[in-house]
Structure 1
Amino acid sequence: MHPSSDTTPSGPFSPRRDENPGTSMHLKSSPSGRVPQWVVEEALEQQRHARLDPWRQRREQRRAARVTRKTARRWAKASKRRNRVWRASPAIGIGLLAVLWFGPTIFNQYALPAISPYLPNASAPPPRLTASRDPLGVPPAVADTGGYRFMDSPDPDQEMVAYDPCRPVRVVVRPDNAPPGGQQLIDEAIAEVSAATGLQIVDAGTTTEAPSNRREPYQPDRYGRQWAPVLIAWSDAAEHPDLAGDVAGLGGSTARQVDGRPFVYVTGQVVLDAPSLTAMMESPDHVRAVIMHELAHVLGLTHIDDPSQLMYGDNLGLTDFAAGDRAGLARLGAGTCVPRL
């Protein structure tokens, strides 16, 4: 509403005097005689409200009541939220103390193994969650006649270390320097040790990787986020000095462990002396026997002091596994499944 023409200022501002007698406003003043501004504003609001007709007065009263109820509800809800926060505070505090106290142990035991395969310079791949829960093959039933020995185990309480039978053993070949027919002999040797163990040994193709005594078991840049496959390489003493002398081949594997489970082999390599084996190709059965001998080393057998076995330290003309060799290989085919490795 606009002020009417008979409004006259009194001090900085004065409320309108009602034209009807008995309705003029008596303003409160301070001891100094000054009228506070809030008194003036309150008087003006009372005058405005008095001029409203009854219907408008009731409407404004209802509106004011609604605003009051909403404000009360908001304060009530806010108060409840504050109460919940304060009630939860002791629990939060206890939780924080627990994290600070047990945090390093929990992190090292659970969090770090989960994230470490994805960190730079990781030394192991992520767990193969798609790995089978059951062995992919069954070793043949053979009489355990003895006549075999296992490679030394990293754990003195674990008699042998073997490959996980619930996942395939992948093999790659570096074909450089291979004699004619060399790949066929490798394929035949792989078939023999696969049948003797029940392990699923699969051809993963060729590679340019060179053999090394310090071969990394995990090479994601070359083979992806999985353990490196078993490497078979034709080489010589110039590239691999351990082939010097009358050594026709070398074989072995790398073992790993996780979560207190048994050690298992995750990869290995066979290094074949190309010059000496090329000279033996007139008797391909003997070359194949050398490859079988080295693959048996990869799977976990070591030399035995029994010249009747193929795993004897010197090749005395045998071209196939003997009873002791087969008994040891059958046991190695019944290793432990470790899907988290």
Structure 2
Amino acid sequence: MLGQENDGVVVVSVPDGSTCRCGEQMRTGERAGFDLMANEVICLRCMADRRAGRPQVLNRPQQPWPTHTPAPPAVWLAPAAPSRTRSRGPRTWVTVLVAALVVSLVGVPVGLRSLRAFAGADTAPDDPGAYVFLNKDRRGAPVTWDPCLTIELVVNSASAPAGSGTLLAEAIDRVNEASGLHLKVIGPSTQAPRPDQSARDLASGLPGSARAPVLVAWTTPEVVPGLKGSVVGLGGPVHRFANTRDQERYVGGSVELDGPQLAQLLQRRNGHAQARAVVMHELGHLVGLDHVANSSQVMAAESGTVTEFGEGDRAGLARLGSGGCPYDLTPDTPDSSNASDAPS
């Protein structure tokens, strides 16, 4: 259980020196409040003002570093560019407009990649360098999920084909094994996919949770127009970045799969493996991979006969699972001033 106060704030350890929105500077390892609903870090002085009912200070005078009381950095939310399905011909990702989660920052648009069915046999040789990331930070490192937290999935099976649970489970196992991340289905959902859903909706956590579970929806083109034609899936993440711009993290996302089209694919020879590869492709977008031109990879922009991750896919996934843990959400204990990273 997190060290949560009655105002919905938990205590975290600041991973990198930063500045609170009030202007207060903070140091690595200091303690701060994390507002679960607003998805931002609050310095201890702002927490005190908040609990006392005082107005938000926007330009606090700087003071010398304290020797005992830590203060945290402000974290701002912004939408990320996700990716989803593959396309049969030259097609770019579908761009979905998403409102910025914090109006003072310009949000990165969430892009949905479209995967179309189904191209011919693969001819390109496997290549361990054949991977592309959806987003990079200012240092050139890929934006990643927090590997110390489980990426929770809920599933809407309204238009799921027979055997969909096995397809998803097998795809998750392959992504987890290749990346070291921990995707996990935590239950069913009746939530319908919404093409106009905002980044805040996708990233906002449930009460007591730092972020919302990812909705995996087996759906139809009538519900999600982006699935019209030969597009079989859409998917991608939403990311948040700190005001230092070097602690960007994925904090939400969604996956939509065309149930009727995949049901037809399942009737083909080797259809189960090909349908599973579609789900693997969309989960690859969810964790941060973009399309590649190499047809020997599952993340190729066109769906072919590849049914298992190629060397490039696996190399990219391994890098996406190697990001550090940005915040320590372990509650304080009497004998420890710095909590350890939460287990994955």
Kept in 2, the 8 Å contact 1:148–1:304? The answer is: yes
Instruction: Give the alignment partner of residue 302 of structure 1, picking from 286, 290, 294.
Output: 290
Q: Deviations over 1:165-208 (max 9, x none)?
A: 11111111111111111111101100010000111222211112
Tell me the distance in 2 between the aligned counterparts of 1:163 and 1:240. 26
On the 8 A contact 1:125/1:225 being kept in 2, the answer is no
For 1:103 and 1:307, how far apart are their aligned partners in 2?
46
Q: Which has the higher contact order (CA 8 A, sep 6+)?
A: 2
Query: Can you list the C-alpha shifts for 1:269-325, whole angstroms capped at 9, x where unaligned?
Result: 110011101111121111101000000011111110111111111111111111111
- TM (norm. structure 1) is 0.57
Q: Distance in 2 between matches of 1:315 and 1:307?
A: 8
Indicate conservation of the 8 Å contact 2:203/2:253, yes or no: no
- Amino acid paired to 1:191: D
Q: Give, in whole Å, the separation in 2 of the partners of 1:203 and 1:163.
A: 16
Please say if residues 179 and 320 of structure 2, whose CA atoms lie closer than 8 Å, have aligned partners that are also in contact: yes
- Aligned equivalents of 1:252, 1:166: Cα separation in 2: 20
Which residue is 1:257 aligned to?
241
1:121-132 matches, within 5 Å, as 122-124=37-39
Question: 1:230 deviation in Å?
Answer: 1.7
Tell me the distance in 1 between the aligned counterparts of 2:240 and 2:322.
17
More helix by share: 1
Separation of aligned partners in 2, 1:210 and 1:103: 35
How many residues in Structure 1 have an aligned counterpart in Structure 2? 216
Superposed, 1:1-341 pairs within 5 Å as 104-106=22-24, 114=33, 116-117=35-36, 122-124=37-39, 145-153=128-136, 155-213=137-195, 214-215=197-198, 216-220=201-205, 224-258=208-242, 260=244, 261-282=246-267, 283-339=271-327
Partner in structure 2 of residue 27 of structure 1 = none
Q: What's the CA shift for 1:108? A: 11
How far does the alpha carbon of each residue in 1:139-188 deviate from its partner, in whole angstroms, 9 at most, with x for none?
A: xxxx99301111133x4433311111111111111111111111111011
Contact kept, 8 Å, 2:216 with 2:255, in 1: the verdict is yes
Q: Using the alignment, how far apart are the partners of 2:260 and 2:165 within structure 1?
A: 15
In structure 1, what is the Cα distance between the partners aligned to 2:227 and 2:38?
28
Identity %: 37
Deviation beyond 4 Å, 4+ runs, structure 1: none
Larger Rg over CA atoms:
1
Cα separation, 1, equivalents of 2:194 and 2:40: 20
What is the SS of the residue equivalent to 1:232?
strand
Shift of 1:106: 3.6
CA contact (8 A) 1:264 1:336 kept: no
Q: CA deviation at 1:257?
A: 2.1
Stretches of structure 1 that go unaligned for 5 or more consecutive residues are 1-101, 128-142
Contact 2:233/2:255 (8 A) holds in 1: yes
Say which SS state the counterpart of residue 257 (structure 1) adopts: strand
The runs of 5 or more residues in structure 2 that have no matched partner are: 1-19, 43-125, 330-344
Write 1 or 2 for the structure with the bigger share of strand. Answer: 2
CA 226–285 in structure 1, closer or farther in 2 if over 3 Å, else same: same
- The SS at the match of 2:238 is strand
